[in-house]
Amino acid sequence: MKNNKYLTIYEEMVEQIKNGTLKPNTKLPSENDLVEQYDTSRETVRKALTMLSQNGYIQKVRGKGSFVLDMTKFDFPISGLVSFKELAQKMGKPWKTIVNEFELIKPDDYLQKHLSVTGKDSVWKVLRSREMDGERIILDKDYFNKKYVPILTKEICEGSIYEYLEEDLQLKISFAKKEIYVEEPTEEDCRYIDLQDYNHVVVVKNFVYLEDASLFQYTESRHRLDKFRFVDFARRGH
Amino acid sequence: MKNNKYLTIYEEMVEQIKNGTLKPNTKLPSENDLVEQYDTSRETVRKALTMLSQNGYIQKVRGKGSFVLDMTKFDFPISGLVSFKELAQKMGKPWKTIVNEFELIKPDDYLQKHLSVTGKDSVWKVLRSREMDGERIILDKDYFNKKYVPILTKEICEGSIYEYLEEDLQLKISFAKKEIYVEEPTEEDCRYIDLQDYNHVVVVKNFVYLEDASLFQYTESRHRLDKFRFVDFARRGH
DNA sequence: GAGTGGTCTAGACCACACG
DNA sequence: GTGTGGTCTAGACCACTCC
């Protein structure tokens, strides 16, 4: 059980914003007020406020105060990493995952380069179709370095691999690079996606890194054109 | 002239990473070493390191140290907000902007909702085609709230509106929400994009907010399928 | 001038990695 | 145990907004 004061403050305030105790477009108590309220130091309060700001909950304005943002404008999760399961649940649609292929392979050159593994390492390869409203609209191709994921079963693949990795294996995913583009469908796409007349697919490539900066997963998510949607929420750096 | 110590440290270290003084996959000096090196306090050093980490330059590992990441893996700008001008320059290709339409309009219902303006406000509407290798491959539709952008000229539109807003008008852009999806081309797309046989376009919608959380710009960027590419670099929260 | 958030300091203790 | 980064404190001064 962690005991981070700033995290506690952050989570409490998120809760208050979500349940309406703190209303959109109103001013938050000043940092000094919060110091008294939470009986802590100012830097700790500020750390919580910075997190709220970075996650799109509030807006800090020097000399004036911090203001609650209207989250209803942003009807999507403030995050670039959304699993299919989350997405489907959010849309309230029935969905299904079909495991097409599931095996341990020796990586080819392309994979060796992208996963930073040698030909001697083993790599899990998982091909899954995602079905919604009776149509297979997404093909997910996942590759995991066996060094980090020693055990994987077909049952896990039918659920959320993502949850398995984070919750069961306790792998700490730290950052991901994403590339999105459009290309013509491969023979594989035709086999595993109900393409109808669409003659292109949207490809989302994901390179997932662990906390120690080692790449452990490479994913290609191939979407039928009409069912693709991506939402991103970006803050400006300096 | 600002005099942020932590920003100075951050910028110096970015420079050292870029020019190779700090090499990929090596360990940084410890925080305590850096405190001595820069004659400052640990929290200040940590602020700089946190920024480096958030911007993908380093990776901090508790109990071990901070490590320089191999930026060559991430051959694209670490940012979701890339202007066409930046992109074209990075690719080293000749490019041109054609201003198709440029006028002050009264917002319709759709715009009123998205720009949070009333029917009495005025809104700048700018339609620009982006040309590369002699083909118009992108149609940019920009709408600005006149309240924030009182003056706009055709000349500015032919360059980078983005730079004009930030550098000349000193508008501080704080965050942006982005939506990406694919749809069939409109009559407008056919007129202003050299679509060839492609019967879909990739639409990137951008909602840009100022520091006080007011929405001042709504942009639609419509790309020919084959010329579309989006790169994103996401850190995990918490 | 009073109040706000932004930066900075010099300490302290903790959790974790490694030998 | 030693060294690392993670959290926290109780101050201080500054830059900005508003009255």
A238 contacts in B (CB within 8 Å)?
7, 51
The token duo for B200 is 């879909």
pLDDT band at A87; cut points 50, 70, 90:
low
Q: Do the Cβ atoms of B226 and A182 come within 8 Å? A: yes
Tell me what the mean pLDDT of segment A19-37 comes to: 92
The token duo for B136 is 């118009």
pLDDT the model gives residue A55: 78
pLDDT the model gives residue A176: 72
- Look-up of token digits 């980090």: A148
% helix, strand, coil for chain B, step of 5: 30, 35, 35
Taking the C1' atom of D16, which residue's CA lies nearest? A63
Q: Which residues contact A77 (CB under 8 A, 6 or more apart)?
A: A86, A90, A231
Give Cα B192 to chain centroid, integer Å.
24
Q: Which residues of chain B have pLDDT under 70?
A: 1-2, 71-93, 116, 166-175, 211-214, 233-238
- Residues 64-123 in A contacting B (C-alpha not used; CB under 8 Å): 67, 69-70, 73-74, 79-81
Residues with CB under 7 A from strand D: A 3-7, 39-44, 47, 61-64; B 28, 30-33, 42-43, 46, 49, 60-66
The span from the CA of B30 to the CA of B33, in Å, is 5
Q: Do the Cβ atoms of A177 and B81 come within 8 Å? A: no
Q: Is A191 helix (H, G, I), strand (E, B) or coil?
A: helix
- Choose among A57, A71, A68: nearest CA to A22: A68
The span from the CA of A98 to the CA of A228, in Å, is 19
Write out pLDDT tens, residues A123-154: 889 999 988 888 998 899 999 888 777 788 88
B181 contacts in A (CB within 8 Å)?
228-230
pLDDT the model gives residue A147: 77
Q: Do the Cβ atoms of B181 and A234 come within 8 Å? A: no
User: What φ, ψ does residue B234 adopt, rounded to 5°?
Assistant: -115, 135
For residues A170 and A16, the model is more confident at A16
Strand pairing category for A65-68 and A95-105: unpaired
pLDDT of residue A34 exceeding 90, the answer is yes
pLDDT of residue A213 exceeding 80, the answer is no
Domains of chain A, CATH where assigned: 5-72 (1.10.10.10), 84-227 (3.40.1410.10)
Long-range contact pairs involving B93-98 (C-beta distance under 8 Å, separation at least 24): B93/B132, B93/B133, B94/B132, B94/B133, B95/B130, B95/B131, B95/B132, B96/B130, B96/B131, B96/B132, B97/B128, B97/B129, B97/B130, B97/B131, B97/B157, B97/B158, B97/B159, B98/B128, B98/B129, B98/B130, B98/B131, B98/B136
For residues B173 and A13, the model is more confident at A13
pLDDT the model gives residue B230: 80
Quick check: A211 CB within 7 A of strand C?
A: no
Quick check: B44 CB within 7 A of strand C?
A: yes
User: What φ, ψ does residue B132 adopt, rounded to 5°?
Assistant: -140, 140
Q: Do the Cβ atoms of B174 and A80 come within 8 Å? A: no
pLDDT the model gives residue A211: 62
pLDDT band at A80; cut points 50, 70, 90:
very low
pLDDT of residue A86 exceeding 60, the answer is no
The token duo for A117 is 């593994």
Tell me what the mean pLDDT of segment A48-59 comes to: 87
Q: How far A106 CA sits from the closest chain B CA (Å)?
A: 22
Task: Using CB atoms, pick whichever of B55, B69, B202 lies closest to residue A213.
Answer: B69
Q: Is A133 helix (H, G, I), strand (E, B) or coil?
A: coil
pLDDT the model gives residue B237: 45
Element (H, E) at B64: none
- Residues 1-30 in A contacting B (C-alpha not used; CB under 8 Å): 7
pLDDT the model gives residue B162: 73
pLDDT the model gives residue A69: 81
